[in-house]
Amino acid sequence: MKFIKQDPTFLPPAFLEKMKELVPEKEFPDFITAMNKRLRKCFRINTLKADYETTYDKIHTYGLNIEQMPWYKYGFFVNSEEKLKLGNTLEHFLGQFYVQEASSMLPVIALDPEPKEAVLDMAAAPGSKTTQISAHMNNTGVIVANEPQLSRISALQENMERSGAINVVVSRNDGRFFKKMPDCFDKVLVDAPCSVEGTFRKDIKARFIWAQNKVINISNIQYELLKSAFITAKKGATIVYSTCTLSPEENELVVNKILKEESAELQTVKLNGLEASKGITKYRNYEIDKELEKTVRIWPHKTDMEGFFLAKLKKI
């Protein structure tokens, strides 16, 4: 067993069996290859602190081969080895750009926060999406950045300060607390805690603590968080639910349950230039609403990004 744990290509057998149900047989070798491929670094220019063109030109001087994400003006892939780590640059220290995974940028694009709105980021630390929301809102309106774990609050606050996000109020509550505050927010982001299967590419340790029972247990929490989001959202509000995992139990099945219980309408997410896949509507013996095709799956072997799931809903 010790030998297996030293193998960086190890993937949990039960996880692989589940993925064989979801990934077409002819694509499965590519899926395995992608899961063991090193993830590209990515960053986002922070318009709260930086001029777009100036920052773009400055990053070029570090000898990096950078590529703009075709689906997001402010996001960039780094297609070369870093001679100088981006996190050690003056521009990063000054908050002019934020090192952030490409998949992690998608929920805010779907949420489409606008100036002067009231937005809840239900599970905010370390703040990558909160700072992105603030930039989209031009530092107007208010964002409640909620983080239940005290140990992660300091990182959240530090990133708010470094990024110049001044329209943010930090709270420390269980996300389920917000069901006590009905009809408060114009937009709600539930970037839910999950089994992090999508991060296996960069987090080898996560492969060894994965278990199906953990998937089931956390899916119950995810459902309760999304339920709370619907209660605290105003009528007509947008709710975005996202995870960095691939199991349907944590993704389509959570949203499917909400669709049965709430006055909710799934919205189409437009990500031009990204090879996003439709949500799964057939899985084992579960009855899944065909509307779940409107959700978004990011498969590593199709996008060279972290595995991810995204659903955009409207409270009606």
Residues with a catalytic annotation lie at 244
Contact by Cβ (8 Å): 246, 303? no
CA angle 135-146-243, nearest 5°?
80
Tokens of 247: 């199991």
Could you tell me if 313 and 289 are in contact, meaning their C-beta atoms sit under 8 angstroms apart? no
Which residues on neighbouring strands pair with residue 313, listed in sequence order? 239, 266
* Calpha distance 183→121 (Å, rounded): 15
Give the C-alpha separation, 93 to 134, whole Å. 18
Q: Is 57 exposed, middle or buried (0-12, 13-18, 19+ CB in 10 A)?
A: exposed
Q: What is the DSSP letter of 24?
A: -
Beta bridge pairs of residue 77: 42, 67
CB-facing half-sphere around the CA of 229: CA atoms within 13 A: 34
| 291 touches 259 (CB < 8 A) | yes
